[in-house]
Amino acid sequence: MTTAAANGTPAGSEPAGQLRRLAEQTRALVGELTGPLRRVQVRHGDTMIEIEWHDRTTPVAAAPSAPADPPAAPAAGLAAPAAGLTAPAADPAAPAAGHPIGSPIVGTFYRAAEPGGTPFVEVGDSIEPGQVIGIVEAMKLMNEITTDRRGVVVEILADDGEPVEFDQPLITVAPG
């Protein structure tokens, strides 16, 4: 007798099964979308999917139809699948525009060390591995974000003071 049958819940309705199905459905949805995606966010409670493209300034929200099995897992369990989808979606645009440098944590992105200060990097700046490109504040801690490669900043994707997600591209670097 399975655990699901023993506790009276139908098989596949366990949180892990629901999370797995939701991740598969999200991957299928992302595969059907056109254009280079900047961010995909999935919420489990009250089911919401938010999609943001690189060339758009406002997110497009889609409210999916109600799932056959109402989700029972906490929303926090979805952070990893949603973040895992963000990086591959940005890859098709990477060869043409350069290499995106993403945020290693969720928080608030700052381009300078203090309000009104000189930004760490600007478009056209040459950067070296280990150079600070910005700060992400998370839980009142300031975390320096460094680059892992040499190149030239070709685009700044996150605004000063903007909330950022895990692995969300902050800047784009071209070889140089």
Tell me the Cα Rg of the chain: 19
Q: Per-residue pLDDT tens for 158-167? A: 999 999 999 9
What pLDDT digit, counting tens, does each position of 56-111 carry? 444 444 444 444 454 444 444 433 333 333 333 344 444 446 899 999 999 999 99
Residue 91 or residue 17, greater confidence: 17
Q: Could you report the per-residue pLDDT of 105-156, keeping only the tens digit for each?
A: 999 999 999 999 999 999 999 999 999 999 999 988 999 999 999 999 999 9
Q: Which of 77, 2, 52, 62 is nearest to 164 (CA)?
A: 52
Positions of CATH 2.40.50.100 in the chain: 99-175
Domain 99-175 has CATH 1.10.1040.10: no
Beta bridge partners of 169: 102
Q: What is the mean pLDDT of the chain?
A: 73
What is the pLDDT at residue 70? 47
